[in-house]
Amino acid sequence: MGKFPVPDKTLFICTGSKCAKRGGKDTYKAAKRFAKYSGQDIEVIRIECTDRCDWAPVCTISPGNIWLKEYSEKDVLKLMTD
């Protein structure tokens, strides 16, 4: 059995209908590109809904259980480097 890789950080970005319309889908793509070339051990995962549509777009990063609401792409990329 092979090694099960566990990243240092995991970013979950909601790309449900409301979040996608408010920038979640584009931010997901930018975060994936950033994670690929940053040299950090970050996994970016697209999720369908966090049931927080009133604050769309929404994302969270672990460890730390940090949530962003109504964010910009720049806010997310900054969160990934902290």
pLDDT higher than threshold 80 for residue 64: yes
- Over residues 52-76, mean pLDDT: 95
pLDDT tens, residue by residue, 6-61: 999 999 999 999 999 999 999 999 999 999 999 999 999 999 999 999 999 999 99
Q: How confident is the model at residue 81 (pLDDT cuts 50, 70, 90)?
A: confident
Domains and CATH numbers, the chain: 9-81 (3.40.30.10)
pLDDT higher than threshold 90 for residue 5: no
Give 51-57's long-range contacts (Cβ < 8 A, gap of 24+). 52/14, 53/16, 53/18, 53/19, 56/14, 56/16, 56/18, 56/19, 56/21, 56/22, 56/24, 57/13, 57/14, 57/18, 57/19, 57/20, 57/22, 57/23, 57/24, 57/27
What is the structure's pLDDT at 27? 96
pTM of the model: 0.91
